[in-house]
Chains A and B, each alone.
Chain A
């Protein structure tokens, strides 16, 4: 009978040092079920018996097997397994690079570290105390190359230099070289964070394409938030910047807009956080934007009672979309008159436009594209002045818009009424 010498190929033995292998004579031929018995062809009378302990008979599993095993472990378990050896470290870091492209960091006064990894979405959600620098160092080190999207609060970015992560070496000049989508959340803010952010902003990313800043504004914090925005636009001027202002009073919104200057936004969203929708004046917003040279392609109002002064401008710069979502529109009549005024200003020569009202009626007049290209009204809105029409109010609004602004796109289909 020919006996193959060893079982090796797919299964190799780790740590099979000579002193672990005991040469035994035939007398030791007792059957121990757990043993692996290897019979070298040259010494048929003797058996190489590996001891029964775990240490001796442990085959190293192939990478493909370990990858499979690792893929059903949690982030926490992978971090534990990472400490074992270089090979595992490499396998795990490859796996995490593939499975984490988006990192989201939240705090909300938590006292413990919670990590939720969602491989199908390639996302890692972290909740941790603000000062978990060691933990965050690990997270950043594992994902700094692979991360494409980052959602975080200001504190994390302002304290990047407290992490043991290198930005001096030639291959790492920034903390997140490949992140191009940033969602920055500012709920609370202090002087120290702003200073940290101003100092580090340049080192954070190589280049950003999209930035959304979600700022909860208060009268006290408007200048600090303005400084953060300035830092961001200074270093990442090519990014599309969207600004979400969350406020509980109209004053806080006016105050925040007064603090900003020279901004080209992709989207400006003004959201009310107070339950009983306080009044916000669009005329005042438009005046502030014009005065401080703030332009936005999309302007959204949500959950406010929106007022505007009749026949004033809703915006003095052309806009792609104006969206009103779940608002109480304090008289449609005023709003419509303001919209008409807004659209009139588009004439190249304002003086001529006013005189040429007769000419305007001529059918040969070349039609100008609308100043506001698209108008949307959605959610649970109250259209004051059309309320007698109950749930048909938006139909009437549509009709009015169509008559006055034949070229404007509008969408009232998402509106709904409270029974």
Chain B
């Protein structure tokens, strides 16, 4: 059975019920609209509006979901040797996200967050974290396009404390 998803720019995507279920948000909406896998009429007569996702982003999300629809729910590996939470990004996912420039990655992240697709969310956050690895603080600020709202004095103060890590 198929489900209709409608993006903010009014594009309709028809996806398999199982794919739609991968998003916690969509699955919750379907429940609220009394749509069920066994009731074809309910699926045909309704479509799920997703006002926070654009066509371009949605296509990417669905591509990811298609690839991962048969995944076993996997255990989060809690910590690496440094003790930080590390999510292992699979090779396919690395390839999938490789060509996204940072801005597009952020949009995809926004969508994964809104749609509550945990696997994709973890993949992207780990990819973003990997991009921070080895960067200096001004490079990080530039990458995230952060408008610095710290005063010069505050900045100087913090820089002094964090001088050790900028090497």
Contacts and interface: CB of A to CB of B under 8 A. Distances in A.
Interface string B146-158: 1111100001001
Given A65-B110, A141-B161, A71 B85 contact: yes
A69 B162 contact: no
A132 B8 CA distance: 53
B148 A72 contact: no
A196 interface: no
B150 A68 contact: no
Contact of A82 (B109, B162, B164): B162
Interface in B119-159: 121-122, 125-126, 128-129, 132-133, 135-137, 140-150, 155, 158-159
Interface residues of A, number: 53
Contacts of A134: 160-161, 163-164
Contacts of B84: 71-74, 117, 119
Given A1-B10, A2-B10, A72-B84, A61 B165 contact: no
Contacts of B113: 10, 62, 64-65
A11 B107 contact: yes
Contacts of B106: 11, 58-59, 61
Contact of A34 (B10, B103, B161): B103
Contacts, number: 158
B166 A80 contact: yes
A363 to B, nearest CB: 61
A80 B136 contact: yes
B162 A138 contact: yes
Interface in A68-106: 68-74, 76-77, 79-89
A111 interface: no
A9 interface: yes
Contacts of A121: 83
Nearest to B130: A72
Contacts of B34: none
A83 B155 contact: yes
Contact of B52 (A9, A88, A120): A9
- Please indicate which of the listed interface residues B9, B135, B166 has the most CB atoms of chain A within 10 Å of its own CB: B9
A72 B86 contact: yes
B83 A73 contact: no
Given A54-B103, A64-B113, A80-B165, A86 B150 contact: yes
Given A58-B144, A58-B145, A68-B125, A80 B135 contact: yes
Contact of B85 (A1, A11, A59, A72): A72
A170 interface: no
A116 interface: yes
Contacts of A84: 137, 140-141, 144, 146, 148
Contact of A116 (B83, B103, B104): B83
A87 B146 CA distance: 10
A7 interface: yes
A327 B103 CA distance: 66
Interface in B3-56: 8-10, 51-52, 54
A295 B51 CA distance: 73
Given A7-B54, A116-B82, A119-B84, A86 B149 contact: yes
Given A77-B165, A120-B79, 14 more contacts: A4-B51, A15-B145, A15-B147, A59-B107, A68-B121, A70-B129, A73-B129, A74-B84, A79-B161, A79-B165, A85-B146, A117-B84, A121-B83, A137-B161
12 contacts: A3-B10, A7-B52, A7-B54, A11-B106, A15-B147, A54-B101, A65-B109, A69-B132, A83-B137, A84-B148, A134-B163, A135-B163
Q: Which 8 A-B pairs have the closest CB atoms?
A: A138-B161, A118-B83, A58-B145, A80-B137, A68-B125, A72-B129, A11-B110, A76-B165
